[in-house]
């Protein structure tokens, strides 16, 4: 197995124990996402999507198999090292409702940098650049309650990118948005993934957004398979 940058999930299974019952949430799932690649994972409720994303982001340990993030095998890392990998290598685009209510847009980004170390002048400059790229230049001093749903979600995208992680993970990033805003948000994620060479995985129910992705995988009963793209770019 050659280790490249990006995300490699190799024959990963995940079991949960519910009393005496063993639930197979993931069944020998393999997935490689290269830098600059944007993949979607679709599947019904309970099929294993959240579990897959949590394992890809080093939030949860696989029961079997290998997870490799930016050439680092998670299996080899201690519980002490995992949070550091999460902070430096993984950007989660969370639901907009996860913004901190008492921080303005720029500070939403700088607090992430502060958690990872000291905020230097170039870190602040990078945060400002990201916000400009995402059309938020005029909103940097605004608080979440002053933003539209789309602006909040774009702030969440910028926040996920601020540590320059190698992988980007997102679960239903357009859940609370109307069609127009949903398209804008996903097209911006796709653009950042390409321009900044991130390996990105998006879990979604929304078939309309799949045209922005390079590959679409389906998951059912914990089994992942590549799906044909119905729509064209």
The pair of structure tokens assigned to 102 is: 């008492």
Interface residue with ligand ADP among 3, 22, 23, 132 (CB under 6 A) is 23
16: β partners: 23
Interface residue with ligand ADP among 9, 12, 25, 213 (CB under 6 A) is 25
Angle formed at CA 156 by CA 217 and CA 215, multiple of 5 degrees: 15
Based on the shown chain and the rule CB under 6 A, indicate whether residue 46 belongs to the binding site for ligand ADP.
yes
Interface residue with ligand ADP among 2, 18, 101, 145 (CB under 6 A) is 18
Comparing C-alpha atoms, which of 89, 231, 219, 84 is closest to residue 160?
89
Nearest CB to ligand ADP, comparing residues 23 and 125: 23
Nearest CB to ligand ADP, comparing residues 2 and 45: 45
Based on the shown chain and the rule CB under 6 A, indicate whether residue 43 belongs to the binding site for ligand ADP.
yes
Measured CA to CA, the distance from residue 58 to residue 44 in angstroms comes to 23
Residue 175, classified by CB atoms within 10 Å of its CB into exposed (0-12), middle (13-18) or buried (19+), is middle
DSSP at 76: G
Helix (H) or strand (E) holding 82: helix 82-89
Interface residue with ligand ADP among 48, 91, 150, 165 (CB under 6 A) is 48
- Span of 17-25, 62-70, 150-158, 188-196 interacting with ligand ADP by CB under 6 A: 17-25
Least distance (Å) from ligand ADP to the CB of residue 150?
Answer: 24
**Residues between 49 and 108 with contacts to ligand ADP, criterion CB under 6 A:** 49-51
- Span of 30-38, 47-55, 97-105, 161-169 interacting with ligand ADP by CB under 6 A: 47-55
Nearest CB to ligand ADP, comparing residues 178 and 221: 221
**Residues between 150 and 169 with contacts to ligand ADP, criterion CB under 6 A:** none
From residue 26, alpha-carbon distances to 182, 191, 221 in Å are 29, 30, 7
Strand order in the sheet with 167-171: 90-93, 167-171, 199-203, 38-42, 215-220, 223-227
64: β partners: 13
Based on the shown chain and the rule CB under 6 A, indicate whether residue 117 belongs to the binding site for ligand ADP.
no
Measured CA to CA, the distance from residue 155 to residue 161 in angstroms comes to 10
- Span of 41-49, 72-80, 117-125, 158-166 interacting with ligand ADP by CB under 6 A: 41-49
Least distance (Å) from ligand ADP to the CB of residue 228?
Answer: 21
Measured CA to CA, the distance from residue 18 to residue 86 in angstroms comes to 27
Q: Using CB under 6 A, list all residues that contact ligand ADP.
A: 16, 18, 23, 25, 43, 45-51
């Amino acid at each position: 197995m050659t280790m490249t940058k990006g995300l490699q999930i190799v024959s990963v299974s995940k079991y949960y124990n519910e009393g005496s019952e063993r639930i197979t949430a993931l069944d020998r799932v393999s997935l490689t996402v290269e830098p600059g690649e944007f993949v979607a994972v679709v599947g019904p409720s309970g099929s294993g999507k959240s579990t897959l994303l949590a394992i890809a982001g080093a939030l949860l340990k696989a029961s079997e198999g290998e997870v490799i993030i930016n050439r680092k095998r998670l299996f080899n890392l201690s519980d002490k090292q995992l949070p550091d990998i999460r902070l430096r290598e993984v950007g989660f685009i969370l639901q907009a409702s996860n913004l901190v209510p008492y921080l303005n847009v720029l500070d939403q980004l700088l607090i992430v940098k502060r958690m990872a170390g000291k905020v230097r002048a170039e870190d602040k400059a990078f945060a400002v650049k990201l916000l400009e790229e995402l059309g938020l230049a005029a909103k940097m001093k605004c608080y979440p309650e002053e933003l539209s749903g789309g602006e909040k979600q774009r702030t969440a995208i910028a926040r996920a990118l601020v540590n320059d992680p190698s992988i980007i993970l997102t679960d239903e990033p357009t859940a609370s948005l109307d069609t127009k805003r949903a398209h804008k948000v996903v097209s911006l994620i796709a653009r950042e993934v390409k321009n900044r060479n991130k390996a990105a995985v998006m879990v979604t129910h929304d078939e309309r957004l799949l045209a922005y992705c390079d590959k679409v995988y389906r998951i059912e009963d914990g089994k992942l398979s590549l799906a044909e793209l119905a729509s064209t770019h």
